[in-house]
Amino acid sequence: MGHSFRFRFRVCLLAGVCLLGGTALAHEFWLLPPQFFVAPSTRLALRIFVGESFTGERWAGKSSRVTRFTHFAPDGPHQLLAAATTTDTLHTAVEFKEPGTHLVSIATNDAFLTLEANQFNSYLKEEGLDYILLERQKRGTLNQPGREAYRRCATTLVQAGPPAALDTARAWSRSTGLPLELIPEQNPYTLKAGASLTVRVLAEGQPQAGQLVQLWQRRPGQPIRISKLYSNQNGRVLFRLTGAGQYMLSTVRMAPATLPEADWQSTWASLTFGFRPLGAR
């Protein structure tokens, strides 16, 4: 499906949501540091984006929406939530003090939207959530509005100092405990151009088979490239890192909701990192 169609589709959905008093359906949500490669002891204000095609716009959510904010440093995890949410404005500054690969994770609570039946069904198809369409059909609710609760999870990898192949801390491969997460099995900061990167998809800590995962690649002066794969029976997907740039992996799951305000609960997850192939420094 082309970018122009996806964009027009999103615009139509947005118009429908606005009529219904909801919020925009640009659901990809990601952390983006100003730089992925920094010197040790660098302090960065991480940016949060929501939108389409790995471009999007700055997320305007209040600090009250954030339920987790954790820095997994080489010396162990550091909880950042209390300091980051003391005011209505979310503070996302993180110090990458120790040399090595750092992981930062963030999660939000639920927001809610309602779409007319045709819009919701089209939205499910667009996001690869055909199993929910099938469930709606089984329930006899295809012609009923879709009431959705959605929450978001995002992680990012930052490299402080030169990467080390013998990284015993392995903060980059830590399970964050988020309800949906993408966990790399190799450190992308130690890979060469053309190398394979394997990522596990975990929902509530369990591997997810048949999960659609998208890889977004942004390179200077070139169009954004998108690859789509489905996880195998062990919840793994394998991508090739074809060149330097910024990368984002994204995925979404939906299930019947247990909330009175919604019929369906969606969870969105992303992982961002930079790639500067070894030997090209």
* pLDDT in 10s for each residue of the chain, 281 residues: 444 334 334 434 433 443 333 344 547 999 999 999 999 999 999 999 999 889 889 998 899 999 999 999 999 999 999 999 999 999 999 999 999 999 999 999 999 999 999 999 999 998 999 999 999 999 999 999 999 999 999 999 999 999 887 788 899 999 999 999 999 999 999 999 899 999 999 999 999 999 999 999 998 888 999 999 999 999 999 999 988 999 999 999 999 999 999 999 999 999 999 998 765 54
Write the burial class of residue 279 (CB in 10 Å: 0-12 exposed, 13-18 middle, 19+ buried): exposed
Q: Which residues contact 168 (CB under 8 A, 6 or more apart)?
A: none
Residue 152 sits at φ, ψ, to 5 deg, of: -135, 145
Q: Quick one: DSSP state of residue 135? A: H
Residue 76 near residue 52 (C-beta atoms within 8 A)? no
| Domain extent listing, the chain | 3-275
Using the structure block, give the residue that is written with the tokens 């509530």: 204
What is the rounded end-to-end Cα distance, in angstroms, of the chain?
36
